[in-house]
Amino acid sequence: MQYILKAPASFNATIKLPASKSISNRALIIHALSNSDVLPQNLSVCDDTEVVVNALMSNPDVIDIKAAGTAMRFMTAYLSVTPGEHVITGTERMKNRPIGILVDALRYLGADIEYVANEGYPPLRIKGHPLEGGYLEIPGNVSSQYISALLMIGPVLKNGLELRMTGGIISRPYIDLTLWMMREFGADADWSDMETVKVNPHPYNQHKYLIESDWSASSYWYEMMALTDDTESQLMFEGLMDASKQGDSIVKYIYSLMGVKTRFAERADNDAMPTVTLKKQRCMLPRLDYDFISAPDLAQTVVVTCALLNIPFKFTGLASLKIKETDRIEALKRELRKLGYVLRDENNDTLIWDGTTCEPTFEPIDTYEDHRMAMAFAPAAIKFPGLRINDPYVVTKSYPQFWDDLESAGWTIEKIK
C-alpha cells in the first residue's frame, strides 16, 4: 500500500490526539500488579497497548507482542513475578532486538528465564514465581524501558529493590514518569541519589486512573505548523497537560524555537481536559544543536523539520535509535537523501546536517515497519506536494487514526494498492 499526500494551504482544525501509549502500558502493568478489577480509563487503542491488554486479559501460554518493544520489556519483568509458565515472542525484528541486559538483571534477582532460540534475544520462556529483590546494578545508558520494567515490579518483591544505574542514564524523564505513576498507585519509590532508585516492599493500591493524551503524537502536528507558510493557521487539541510527566512534552519548547507558539487555555473545571492551541510565528533560528538523550522519540520529527526549514543542526544522544523498530539513524539518512538532504552521522549517536544537498529523486519514502518514520515524513508533503509514503499502516503501532486525522484537517490522501 502507498499513500500520495497533498497538504492544505492552511490549517484550522481540532484534533483528538490518542491517549499516551507510554502511560497506558505502565498503567496496565501496575494495575495488574495491584490486582485491581478496574481497568485504567482512556487507554490507548494502538497496537503496542492492545498486545499488553490481550496478554493480561487472556493469559495465553504463548504471548505474541508483535513489534511492541515496550510490551516485551514490561511483560518480561511482569511474567517473572507472576505464577505460571509462558513463552513471550514477537516479530522477526523483535527477535533481533537485544534483551540480555534485562534478562541478566531479572536472573540476578532469581527469575527463571530461558532463551528459546538465540542467546540475548527473544523469544523467552519464563516460569514466574515470587522474587526476593534486593540490590541490583544495571547499565543506564542502553534503554530506560529495562529500568522501568524492573522498577514497576519492585513493590511486589519481598525485599523491595535498590536499583543503581551505571554508565550514565538515557531517557531519564521516562524513569521519572514510571516513578510518578508508581507513587500514584501507592508505591514507596524515589531517587536516593542521582544514579539510584530505592523501592520499598509496599504493595500497590487499587486506583482509578485516567490516561492523558500523548505528547509524542502531538509532535507531528507541531512539525506541520512549523512547516506551513500560513501565519493564520492554528491547531487545537484536548487532553495535553502543561505539567505532564511525559518526557516528550519537551516538544513544545523545541518547536517554540522554530516558530510554533503553544497556548494552554484556562480551565473553569479542574476535572476538565485543558485545551491547547498551536499558532504559527516567524522562525529566525539560524541553527539548532540539541541533545536528545532524554527524548529520543522526537528525533525523527525534529530532524525532518529542520532539514525542510533549511536549519543546519547537530543532534546528539541518539544511540538508542539504532535498536528501535529499525536503525532510525540510517533510515533518516537514506530517506532524506531522496528529498535532497545529505546527512552524516558520528559515533553512532550523532546526526549532522550542515546544509549539504543533492539532486532529489523523490522516490517513495520507505517506513521500515517503523510508525515514527511514516508520521515524521508525512508533513514533508507541505514542502513536497504529492509525497509518497510506502506501507503507511505502520502508524497503528502508536497512532492508529493518524491518516484519518490528516484528512479531517484538510489533507488529501490518494491510496494506491
Task: In whole angstroms, give the CA distance from residue 267 to residue 260.
Answer: 22
124, 115 contact by CB (below 8 A): yes
Catalytic residue, from 297, 349, 370, 405: name it: 297
Alpha carbons within 13 angstroms on the beta-carbon side of residue 80 total: 30
pLDDT tens track for 372-397: 999 999 999 999 999 999 999 999 99
> Is there a domain that residue 205 lies in?
no
Residues 320 and 244 occupy one common structural domain: yes
Position 324 confidence tier, pLDDT thresholds 50, 70, 90 = confident
Residues 138 and 237 occupy one common structural domain: no
In this predicted structure, the answer to whether residue 131 has a pLDDT above a threshold of 70 is yes
Select the more confidently predicted residue: 48 or 36: 48
Strands (E), 99-133: 112-115, 124-128
Residues 236 and 249 occupy one common structural domain: yes
pLDDT the model gives residue 7: 98
In this predicted structure, the answer to whether residue 266 has a pLDDT above a threshold of 70 is no
- % of residues, the chain, pLDDT over 70: 98
- Residue 103 sits at φ, ψ, to 5 deg, of -60, -45
pLDDT the model gives residue 170: 87
Angle between helices 69-80 and 21-33 (to 10 degrees): 10
Task: In whole angstroms, give the CA distance from residue 212 to residue 215.
Answer: 9
Select the more confidently predicted residue: 101 or 171: 101
Residues 11 and 32 occupy one common structural domain: no
Residues 79 and 37 occupy one common structural domain: yes
pLDDT the model gives residue 36: 84
In this predicted structure, the answer to whether residue 367 has a pLDDT above a threshold of 90 is yes
Residues 119 and 265 occupy one common structural domain: no
> Is there a domain that residue 399 lies in?
yes
> Is there a domain that residue 207 lies in?
no
Lowest mean pLDDT segment, chosen from 223-227, 267-271, 329-333, 413-417: 267-271
Residues 390 and 245 occupy one common structural domain: yes
> Is there a domain that residue 158 lies in?
yes
Residues 179 and 234 occupy one common structural domain: no
Residues 192 and 248 occupy one common structural domain: no
- H/E stretch holding 64: strand 62-64
pLDDT the model gives residue 37: 82
Active site residue 297: yes
Position 267 confidence tier, pLDDT thresholds 50, 70, 90 = low
Q: What SS3 class is residue 384?
A: coil
Residues 83 and 179 occupy one common structural domain: yes
pLDDT tens track for 154-204: 999 999 999 999 999 988 999 999 999 999 999 999 999 999 999 999 999
Q: Which of 179, 94, 183, 175 is nearest to 140 (CA)?
A: 175
In this predicted structure, the answer to whether residue 91 has a pLDDT above a threshold of 70 is yes
Of 199, 227, 252, which marks where a domain is finished? 199
Position 269 confidence tier, pLDDT thresholds 50, 70, 90 = low
Task: In whole angstroms, give the CA distance from residue 134 to residue 147.
Answer: 15
> Is there a domain that residue 263 lies in?
yes
Whole-number average pLDDT of the chain:
95
Average pLDDT of span 113-118? 97
> Is there a domain that residue 204 lies in?
no
Query: ω before 123 within 30° of 0 (cis)?
Result: yes
C-alpha cell at 1: 500500500
pLDDT tens track for 397-411: 999 999 999 999 999
- Residue 44: CB atoms within 10 A of its CB come to 28
Residues 125 and 232 occupy one common structural domain: no
> Is there a domain that residue 208 lies in?
no
Parallel, antiparallel, or unpaired for β 112-115 and 124-128?
antiparallel
Domain that holds residue 56: 21-199
Lowest mean pLDDT segment, chosen from 128-142, 205-219, 256-270: 256-270
pLDDT the model gives residue 273: 66
Number of domains in the chain: 2
pLDDT the model gives residue 238: 85
> Can you give the CATH number for the domain in which 147 is found?
3.65.10.10
Of 199, 231, 260, which marks where a domain is finished? 199
Average pLDDT of span 30-56? 93
Residue 302 to residues 64, 87, 313, Cα–Cα distance (Å): 32, 38, 10
> Is there a domain that residue 183 lies in?
yes
Of 149, 173, 199, which marks where a domain is finished? 199
Residues 118 and 59 occupy one common structural domain: yes
The pTM score is: 0.89
